[in-house]
Chains A and B, each alone.
Chain A
Amino acid sequence: MQALWALISNSYLQGFLSGKIYGGRLKELCVPGMNCYSCPGARGACPIGSLQAVIGSYKFKFPYYVLGFLFLVGAILGRFVCGWLCPFGLIQDLLHKIPFPKKIGTFRGDKLLRKLKYLLLLVFVILLPLFLVDIIGQGSPYFCKLICPVGTLEGGIPLVLLNRTMRGAVGFLYLWKNVLLFVTIFLSILIYRPFCKYICPLGAIYSFFNPISVFSYRLDPDKCTGCGACRRACQMQIDPMKNCNHLECIRCGRCEKACAAGALKSGFFIEGLKGRKDGAERSLRESPGRS
Chain B
Amino acid sequence: MIRIRRWLLSRAPGLCAALLGIFMMIYGLWRGEGEVVLAKAIRICMECIGIG
Contacts and interface: CB of A to CB of B under 8 A. Distances in A.
Interface string A245-280: 000000000000000000000000101111000000
Nearest to A47: B37
B38 to A, nearest CB: 4
Nearest to A148: B48
Interface residues of A toward B: which range?
Answer: 35 or more
Looking at chain B's contact residues, the main secondary structure is helix
A6 interface: no
A273 B10 contact: yes
Contact of A72 (B18, B44, B51, B52): B18
B31 A76 contact: no
A65 B44 contact: no
Nearest to B20: A71
8 contacts: A22-B42, A46-B41, A46-B48, A54-B36, A66-B37, A72-B25, A75-B17, A152-B49
Interface of A: 21-25, 27-28, 30, 36-38, 42, 44-46, 49-50, 53-54, 57, 59-60, 63-76, 140-141, 144-145, 148, 151-152, 155-156, 159-160, 166, 169-171, 173-174, 176-178, 209, 212-214, 216, 269, 271-274
Given A54-B37, A64-B31, 19 more contacts: A21-B42, A28-B37, A54-B33, A60-B31, A60-B32, A63-B28, A64-B24, A64-B28, A65-B29, A65-B34, A66-B33, A67-B21, A68-B28, A74-B17, A76-B18, A160-B51, A166-B49, A171-B51, A209-B17
